[in-house]
């Protein structure tokens, strides 16, 4: 039976994180030798509310985890898609590098880490996806730290989508877009024991993952399942799970539905629902088409026409990065 905890952030992050880990039972299972990897959502070179995980949330989680283990790693891969940027720079500019040094934990840019491939079956295709051995072989507890936001290509970006950054190469992620549902499901299943700490200080509606309207939510969610975290977050965002294609199919595979028993705290029951919506701009549709077509993805990202096509797009739309 999955467990979901939710509390307001009126008094900061640390209290809700501590109580949430107790509610889902993590505090009773963590040992001093356990290795914990924290994966925030760091999709911009500097903090943007509703777009990425608040550094204060990461710091609070570290403080709580230090009661149990000192083997803590903050990890993320180079980001930016077509206009990639270094995660090392993001660690510095957001203050995460300084926080890690202060608490004696590691920060790792997984783009430079050793990897080994996992098999992925996408309909009739068989893919081989390299993932960091840091997570596959050297982690006992994986903690995903997403934010609740809509996404122009996938509908929403929550706990499962946050693992897209586990794939180390931005260029490879672009090539894998047409197989997103299959790949993100396989990546999630390949990870060690996983929980979610969703930073709901802010959300992003209307458009995403970068542009949109910031929503002041002021809550934090802790879940002992990445699948159920997304299921619960959709309820808080007023979005039916059936409308999000990749989640609908993954939920069916994992038997995540309203008929399955779910344990939630009173904070989740009482939390007001805020209606999120997605309204794509016309300039989002080229990216949406390439997201769902391997041929168009090649044309837009790998072919000789990629640069001039992006030049034309940026005449009418500012680049994300």
Residue 62 lies in a domain: yes
* pLDDT at residue 298 in the model: 84
> Quick check: helix, strand or coil at residue 144?
strand
Under 8 Å between Cβ of 89 and 48: no
Confidence of residue 317 (pLDDT cuts 50, 70, 90): confident
Question: What is the chain's mean pLDDT, rounded?
Answer: 94
Q: What is the pLDDT of residues 236-271, one digit of tens each?
A: 999 999 999 999 999 999 999 998 989 999 999 999
* Model confidence at 295: pLDDT above 80: yes
Mean pLDDT for the stretch of residues 222-231: 98
Domain that holds residue 76: 2-280
Q: How many domains is the chain partitioned into structurally? A: 1
Residue 201 lies in a domain: yes
Residue 316 lies in a domain: no
Mean pLDDT for the stretch of residues 148-155: 97
Residue 313 lies in a domain: no
Q: What is the pLDDT of residues 18-68, one digit of tens each?
A: 999 999 999 889 999 999 999 999 988 889 999 999 999 999 999 999 999
Mean pLDDT for the stretch of residues 125-142: 97
Q: Report which DSSP code applies to 272.
A: P
pTM above 0.85, yes or no: yes
Residue 9 lies in a domain: yes
The strand ranges marked E within 21-136 are 36-40, 72-76, 106-109, 115-122, 125-132
* Model confidence at 283: pLDDT above 80: yes
Residue 103 has a CB neighbour count (10 Å cut-off) of 15
Confidence of residue 321 (pLDDT cuts 50, 70, 90): low
Residue 70 lies in a domain: yes
Residue 305 lies in a domain: no
* Model confidence at 276: pLDDT above 90: yes
Residue 32 lies in a domain: yes
CATH number at 69 reads 3.40.50
């Amino acid at each position: 039976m999955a467990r979901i905890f939710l509390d307001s952030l009126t008094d900061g992050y640390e209290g809700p994180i501590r109580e949430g880990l107790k509610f889902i039972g993590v505090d009773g299972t963590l040992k001093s030798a356990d290795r914990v990897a924290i994966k925030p959502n760091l999709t911009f070179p500097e903090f943007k509310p509703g777009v990425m995980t608040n550094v204060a949330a990461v710091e609070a989680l570290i403080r709580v985890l230090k009661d149990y283990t000192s083997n803590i790693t903050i990890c993320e891969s180079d980001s930016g898609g077509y206009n990639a940027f270094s995660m090392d720079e993001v660690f510095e500019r957001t203050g995460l590098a300084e926080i890690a040094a202060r608490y004696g934990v590691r920060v790792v840019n997984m783009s430079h880490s050793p990897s080994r491939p996992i098999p992925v079956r996408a309909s009739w295709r068989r893919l081989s996806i390299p993932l960091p051995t840091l997570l596959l072989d050297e982690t006992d507890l994986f903690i995903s730290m997403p934010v609740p936001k809509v996404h122009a290509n996938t509908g929403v970006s929550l706990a499962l989508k946050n693992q897209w950054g586990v794939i180390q190469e931005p260029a490879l992620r672009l090539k894998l877009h047409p197989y997103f549902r299959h790949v993100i499901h396989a990546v999630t299943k390949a990870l060690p024991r996983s929980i979610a700490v969703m930073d709901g200080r802010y959300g992003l509606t209307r458009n995403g993952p970068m542009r949109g309207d910031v929503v002041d939510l002021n809550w934090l969610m802790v879940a002992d399942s990445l699948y159920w975290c997304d299921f619960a977050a959709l309820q808080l965002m007023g979005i039916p799970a059936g409308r999000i294609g990749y989640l609908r199919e993954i939920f069916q595979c994992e038997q995540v539905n309203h008929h399955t028993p779910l344990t939630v705290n009173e904070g989740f029951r009482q939390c007001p629902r805020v209606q999120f919506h997605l309204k794509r701009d016309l300039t989002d549709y080229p990216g949406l088409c390439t997201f769902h077509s391997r041929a168009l993805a090649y044309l837009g990202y790998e072919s000789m026409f990629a640069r001039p096509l992006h030049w034309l797009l940026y005449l009418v739309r500012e680049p994300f990065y």
